[in-house]
A and B are shown apart, each in its own frame.
Chain A
Amino acid sequence: MTDMGPPRSQEPLAAPHGGAGCAWGGPAHIGPAHAERIWLLLLGLTAAGAWLGETGERGWALSLTVAFLIAFKGRLVIDHYMEMRDASPTIRRVLYAFIVAVPVLVLLSHGFGDVIARVTARLIA
Chain B
Amino acid sequence: MSATLALDPAAVPGRIPGNKGIWVGIFCVLVEFLLLFGVYFIAKAHHPEAFRTGPDKLATVAGTTITFLLLTSGYCMVKAVAAIRRDHRRATLGWVVAAIVLGLGYPLVKYFEIRWNIARGIDGEAGIFYTTYYYLTLNHLVHVSWGILGLCWVAVRTGLGVYSAEDYSGLEAAAVYWHTTDVIWLVIFPFFYVLR
Residues on A facing B (Cβ under 8 Å): 1-6, 8-14, 17, 19, 28-32, 35-36, 38-39, 42-43, 46-47, 49-50, 52-54, 56-58, 62-63, 66, 69-70, 73-74, 77-78, 80-84, 86-89, 91, 94-95, 98-99, 101-102, 105-106, 108-109, 113-114, 116-117, 120-121
Contacts and interface: CB of A to CB of B under 8 A. Distances in A.
Interface residues of B, number: 70
Shortest 5 CB-CB distances between A and B: which pairs?
Answer: A58-B196, A3-B169, A116-B45, A1-B170, A53-B194
A13 B82 CA distance: 8
A82 B76 CA distance: 12
A31 B86 contact: no
Say what secondary structure dominates the interface of chain A: helix
Interface of B: 4, 6-23, 27, 30, 34, 37-38, 41-42, 44-46, 48, 52, 55, 60-61, 63-64, 67-68, 71-72, 74-75, 77-79, 82, 85-87, 165-170, 173, 175-176, 179-180, 182-183, 186-187, 189-190, 193-196
A109 B14 contact: no
A62 B195 contact: yes
Contact of B169 (A5, A14, A62, A73): A5
Contact of A4 (B38, B169, B196): B169
A8 B79 contact: no
Contacts of B196: 56-58, 62
Contact of B7 (A9, A57, A88): A9
A47 B78 contact: no
A52 B179 contact: no
A125 B55 CA distance: 30
Say what secondary structure dominates the interface of chain B: helix
Given A2-B169, A29-B11, A91-B23, A50 B52 contact: no
Nearest to A108: B41
Contacts of A42: 71
Contacts of B44: 109, 113
B45 A117 contact: yes
Contacts of A32: 79, 82
B10 A86 contact: yes
Nearest to B47: A117
B171 to A, nearest CB: 9
Nearest to A53: B194
A53 B75 contact: no
Contacts of B37: 102, 105
A17 B7 CA distance: 11
Contacts of B77: 81
B70 to A, nearest CB: 10
A2 B195 CA distance: 42
